[in-house]
């Protein structure tokens, strides 16, 4: 069964889907693969928060980029207070993501080496109103964890999964990231749709 069909089946169950564990329990009861719980939970959150996310101006949206997307051998970025500071050398997808975001009016890009730094950034900037929405790129388990935490902070998230996970030189579909970034901006103000998880991915690097 395709993921889209499985999501429809889970939604049709009418069960509580507010947490990762709840989604996992529903899948188990249905006899479906519970390992898909994180993916389904994230996609449900993407759809649930798309409208709220679209209402937030880009300068108030933070883009969290995993450091594993860097070209590990050639990256020239230095680690600063809020993560690695990209020099736009073009040797990895991060440059394309940041430039796409800047064209749309984004100003906050955080290349985080770990979850503890993300927590520090949120703790510092959310209370000040500097971050009111977020785009997150990571593997499914990390995205699911982030979706849960940000929902408690009332920060709408649009999550984009890595095409290839790991600790170094990972991959992401840059076009899908751009779709998430542009949600609610320009021609897509009201007509934007959350990208299909079954669309043909185009690696950014």
SS3 letters across 35-48: HHHHHHHHHHHHHH
User: Which comes out higher in pLDDT, residue 13 or 198?
Assistant: 13
**What pLDDT is stored for residue 120 in this prediction?**
94
Q: 10 Å Cβ neighbour count for 95?
A: 18
**What pLDDT is stored for residue 34 in this prediction?**
87
Whole-number percent of the chain with pLDDT over 90:
76
205 contacts: CB under 8 Å, gap ≥ 6: 92, 93, 96, 171, 174
**What pLDDT is stored for residue 169 in this prediction?**
83
The arithmetic mean of pLDDT across residues 100-128, rounded, is 95
The arithmetic mean of pLDDT across residues 121-139, rounded, is 96
**What pLDDT is stored for residue 27 in this prediction?**
93
Whether the per-residue pLDDT at 192 is higher than 80: the answer is no
The arithmetic mean of pLDDT across residues 17-22, rounded, is 91
Contacts 24+ apart (CB under 8 A), 22-25: none
The arithmetic mean of pLDDT across residues 67-80, rounded, is 93
Q: 10 Å Cβ neighbour count for 100?
A: 18
User: Which comes out higher in pLDDT, residue 16 or 39?
Assistant: 39
The arithmetic mean of pLDDT across residues 62-86, rounded, is 95
Strands 133-138 and 83-85: unpaired
102 contacts: CB under 8 Å, gap ≥ 6: none
Whole-number percent of the chain with pLDDT over 70:
90
**What pLDDT is stored for residue 131 in this prediction?**
98
Question: pTM surpassing 0.85?
Answer: yes
Task: Return the H-helix or E-strand segment holding 109.
Answer: strand 108-112
pLDDT interval class at 126 (50, 70, 90):
very high
Task: Return the H-helix or E-strand segment holding 111.
Answer: strand 108-112
**What pLDDT is stored for residue 115 in this prediction?**
85
pLDDT tens sequence across 20-50: 999 999 999 999 988 899 999 999 999 999 9
């Amino acid at each position: 069964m395709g993921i889209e069909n499985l999501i429809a089946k889970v939604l049709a169950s009418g069960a509580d889907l507010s947490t990762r564990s709840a989604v996992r329990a529903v899948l188990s009861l249905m006899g479906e693969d519970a390992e898909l719980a994180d993916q389904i939970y994230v996609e449900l959150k993407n759809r649930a928060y798309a409208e709220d996310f679209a209402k937030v101006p880009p300068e108030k949206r933070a883009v969290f980029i995993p450091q594993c997307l860097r070209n590990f051998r050639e990256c020239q970025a230095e680690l600063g207070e809020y993560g690695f500071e990209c020099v736009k050398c073009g040797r990895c997808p991060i440059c394309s993501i940041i430039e796409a975001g800047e064209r749309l009016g984004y100003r906050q890009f955080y290349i985080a080496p770990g979850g503890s730094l993300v927590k520090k950034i949120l703790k510092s900037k959310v209370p000040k109103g500097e971050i009111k929405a977020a785009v997150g790129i990571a593997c499914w388990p990390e995205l699911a964890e982030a979706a849960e935490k940000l929902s408690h902070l009332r920060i709408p998230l649009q999550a984009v999964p890595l095409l290839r996970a790991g600790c170094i030189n990972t991959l992401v579909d840059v076009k899908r990231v751009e779709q998430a970034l542009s949600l609610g901006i320009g021609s897509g103000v009201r007509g934007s749709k959350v990208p299909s998880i079954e669309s043909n991915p185009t690696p950014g690097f």
